[in-house]
């Protein structure tokens, strides 16, 4: 795995247990000494390795992998999914986007629809937004009293611990961009006829709540980064750096599981098919 100064992204961007964060002071344009050309080349070298590891996980059917992506609008969740999921066989991969709850979903607890989308053993699941909206948009828009949404931190930690004990490996990424990068990406969508469909006037309404979201993100990361399901804050002003960091962390985690192809039936290697 490519590294700079002997330190991998997994160590560089992991949120430590109980670490107090202020995303307003975070360098969203950090590259950790990488140049774009080298970063792009390193990611391209990683993709076949990711494909091989996912094939082993699928065949072994021992581990389930849950990748969670959170970030403010235009942080690059869709682009990241395109790169990482693109390295995997679709047969063993599922992407779930969490929008406004349907009437049926809203009639249940907030984890009900999320638990239903958790991947089974042998599968990789990728969440575009997630159960963490319950301590983000719910908080920012005052949809629940503060004592209620604060209670969710512990509930989420307990739920994720249960999943890991049942064989689910959780990898959580927060894609961090600064306000000017968001402005430029929104403008790019407006200016590009092929991307205008991605823009909504509601995006500007949410942008006015930037500071409130940054406070909510900061506390969420501090309260829910655990030893069994840590958060990784990925500087995402540069798309290539974001994709490289996420790719290398996922590669490192999957390689650590050491998945193996199952042993074939005894004597199968001697068969002659006619």
Q: What is the pLDDT of residues 65-74, one digit of tens each?
A: 999 999 999 9
Q: 33: domain CATH number?
A: 3.40.50.300
Write the CB contacts of 179 (distance below 8 Å, at least 6 apart in sequence).
207, 210
Q: What does pLDDT average to over the chain?
A: 95
Domain-located, residue 265 = no
Q: Which tens digit of pLDDT belongs to each residue from 205-241?
A: 999 999 999 999 999 999 999 999 999 999 999 999 9
| Domain range enclosing 85 | 9-259
Domain-located, residue 238 = yes
Q: Give the integer Cα–Cα distance in Å for 164 and 65.
A: 10
Q: Give the integer Cα–Cα distance in Å for 182 and 75.
A: 7
Q: Give the integer Cα–Cα distance in Å for 151 and 148.
A: 5
Q: Of the candidates 68, 65, 45, 66, which has an alpha carbon nearest to the alpha carbon of residue 56? A: 65
Domain-located, residue 49 = yes
- Give the mean model confidence (pLDDT) for residues 151-173: 98
Domain-located, residue 224 = yes
Domain-located, residue 270 = no
pLDDT of residue 5: 44
Q: Give the integer Cα–Cα distance in Å for 141 and 103.
A: 19
Q: Give the integer Cα–Cα distance in Å for 141 and 72.
A: 15
pLDDT of residue 265: 87
pLDDT of residue 2: 41
Domain-located, residue 143 = yes
pLDDT confidence band for 7 (50 / 70 / 90): low
Q: Give the integer Cα–Cα distance in Å for 187 and 227.
A: 39
Give the total number of structural domains in the chain. Answer: 1
Asked if pLDDT for residue 6 goes beyond 70, the answer is: no
Domain-located, residue 162 = yes
Q: Give the integer Cα–Cα distance in Å for 150 and 152.
A: 5
Domain-located, residue 105 = yes
- Give the mean model confidence (pLDDT) for residues 138-165: 98
The radius of gyration computed from the CA coordinates of the chain, to the nearest angstrom, equals 20
């Amino acid at each position: 795995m490519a590294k700079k100064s002997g330190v991998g992204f997994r160590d560089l961007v992991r949120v430590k247990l109980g670490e107090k964060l202020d995303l307003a002071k975070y360098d969203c344009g950090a590259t950790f000494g990488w140049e774009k050309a080298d970063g792009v080349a390193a990611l391209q070298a990683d993709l076949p390795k990711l494909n091989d590891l996912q094939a082993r996980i699928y065949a072994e059917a021992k581990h389930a992998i849950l990748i969670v992506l959170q970030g403010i609008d235009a942080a690059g969740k869709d682009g990241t999914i395109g790169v990482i999921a693109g390295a995997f066989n679709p047969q063993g991969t599922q992407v779930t986007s969490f929008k406004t709850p349907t009437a049926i979903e809203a009639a249940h607890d907030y984890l009900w629809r999320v638990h239903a989308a958790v991947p089974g053993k042998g599968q990789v699941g990728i969440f575009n937004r997630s159960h963490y909206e319950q301590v983000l948009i719910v908080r920012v828009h005052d949809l629940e009293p503060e004592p209620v949404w604060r209670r969710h931190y512990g509930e989420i930690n307990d739920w994720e611990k249960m999943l890991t004990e049942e064989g689910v490996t959780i990898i959580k990424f927060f894609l961090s961009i600064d306000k000017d990068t968001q402005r430029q990406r929104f403008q790019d969508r407006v200016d590009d006829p092929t991307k205008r469909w991605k823009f909504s006037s509601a995006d500007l309404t949410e942008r006015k709540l930037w500071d409130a979201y940054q406070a909510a993100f900061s506390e969420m990361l501090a309260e829910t980064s655990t030893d069994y399901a840590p958060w990784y804050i990925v500087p995402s002003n540069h798309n290539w750096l974001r994709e490289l960091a996420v790719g290398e962390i996922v590669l490192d985690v999957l390689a650590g599981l050491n998945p193996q192809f199952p042993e074939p039936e005894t004597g199968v290697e001697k068969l002659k098919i006619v």
